[in-house]
Every structure is written in structure tokens, then in C-alpha cells.
Amino acid sequence: MKLDASKLPALLQQHIPKWKVLSEPTRLQRSYAFKDFNEAWGFMSRVALHAEKADHHPNWYNVYNRVDVELSTHDAGGVTQKDIDLATKMEKIAHDMGQ
């Protein structure tokens, strides 16, 4: 179920403070910068394994050490708890990698 866009800033602040809300369509955004391509790809590999298990996948764009991520739930036409959960998992993976 789509989360109320007006409630997202507070939810992000509490759980995933480095993420931003973009609009039309409503989506979550964060850019990661790693040491090099190897680290960025390692991060993406770990996230990919989780995403496939959860059947919820990021939109992302990688250039060398940077990974730009946008999360939304296409079926719901906005942001759902699944996006918050995936963002939370990405934060944990990045943290475990020394970010």
C-alpha cells in the first residue's frame, strides 16, 4: 500500500536520514560514492542478491565509483514500506562495507 507522501519526510528522518524524497512520481533517492568501481560493483552485487530474494528491485545508475539509486513501487505508483525496507537494507550493506 502506497505511503502518504506528506508523511515520508518524517519517516525518512527517523529511519534513513540520508535519503531524499523526489516527486512526480514520488520516489526515494540517494547517491553513494565508493572508493572505486570494484567497491561500487560489490555493493550492487550484495544489494542485487537481496533484491531478488525480496522481489523488489532498485532503479540505479552506476558510473565508476558512484551509484545513484531511486526506489519506488511501480505497481502502487509511489513509495511503499518495501521501498523503506530496501533503502534500510542498502544502508546496512553500505555501512558493513565501511561507508
Of 21 and 65, CB closest to ligand H2B: 21
Here the cell at position 41 is 560493483
Q: Is 73 in the site for ligand H2B (CB under 6 A)?
A: yes
**Binding flags for ligand H2B, 37-66, as an x/- string (CB under 6 A):** ------------------xxx---------
Give how far Cα 56 sits from Cα of 26, 59, 99, Å: 16, 10, 23
Beta bridge partners of 8: none
Q: Please give the Cα distance from 74 to 54 (Å, whole number).
A: 15
Instruction: Find the part of the chain contacting ligand H2B (CB under 6 A) among 5-13, 17-25, 33-41, 71-79.
Output: 71-79
Q: Is 74 in the site for ligand H2B (CB under 6 A)?
A: yes
